[in-house]
Amino acid sequence: MEQNSTVTEFILLGLTKSPEIQLLVFVLIFSFYLIVLPGNLLIIATIRSDPTLTAPLYFFLGNLAFLDASYAFIVAPKMLVDFLYEKKTISYQGCITQLFFLHFLGAGEMFLLVVMAVDRYIAICQPLRYATFMNRQVCYMLLLALWVGGFAHSIVQVALIVRLPFCGSNQLDNFFCDVPQIIKLACTDTFVVELLMVSNSGLLTLLCFLGLLTSYAVILFRVRGSSSEGKSKALSTCTTHVIIVFLMFGPAIFIYTRPFRTFPADKVIALFHTVIFPLLNPVIYTLRNQEVKASMRKLVNRQVPCGAE
């Protein structure tokens, strides 16, 4: 890193220069985290403590909540602290580390959503073979595969970035470190690197998005002749998953599938993509799942008397 860069730190220009807007965003994001983050942790505790929630769906939902809770600590804490200071800086090593975990966990969640789509397809379209295909060993293998996939995706991003020389401006036009803004500061021709980045992030994201939408369309097509109860359950499941897919992939496609040019909406979309939506994903799943909601109420009711005593 030291040989390829004379820049030792980056100055983050932040979300906005207005102190009033910064204060408003700080209060909103901090309040949101105080409310939603404990909810994600409660989902994880509920799934781990309830012996009836052992189906692969709940296994993957617990991992989604864990991934999103972890993802929430990559950008938001530093952003909230930076709101309190006029000059916002991050070291070169810290910037690369933030970028690595951002894409590591982000790609891991993307692959997890693909796995959850496969799980729902087998459960709805091949119910008699579901127990054979989605046993515990297969679930752990799929989980390992998505972690390895996320690591491979992220390490490619980092490997391309650390080879770039940074010898000019160190002002990063964002509130966190990400590929599009970092590449702009490199004092060399980055056309080839941008193409590689778009193919590694943008094309992969777009293909997964289209594949997910296709899989849920196939599920709905397959159950069109089922009973009204089965059709209603499949529709409810697919609706929930499609909402999450759009929340996860919509901003990512906007950010990574185009040349790295600046648009007025970039920072707002990045805010929702890195701070807001990750914590909402497991909550949306849970609010539409009666079994998890019932288990959460039981867990809370067991703990409240203990606390009162």
Complete domains list, the chain, with CATH: 9-293 (1.20.1070.10)
Among 98, 260, 233, which Cα is nearest to 173's? 260
For 104, other C-beta atoms within 10 Å of its C-beta total: 24
The confidence score (pLDDT) of residue 1 equals 45
Residue 188 pLDDT? 87
What pLDDT is recorded for position 308? 47
Query: For 106-152, how does the pLDDT look when each residue is reduced to its tens digit (9 = 90+)?
Result: 999 999 999 999 998 898 888 888 988 999 999 999 999 999 999 99
DSSP run (H or E) holding 10: strand 9-12
Which structure tokens are listed for 228?
A: 């009204």
User: pTM for this one?
Assistant: 0.89
Give residue 307's pLDDT. 46
Q: What is the pLDDT of residue 137?
A: 94
pLDDT under 70: residue ranges of the chain:
1-5, 225-230, 260, 303-309
Query: Do strands 9-12 and 171-172 pair parallel, antiparallel, or not at all (unpaired)?
Result: parallel
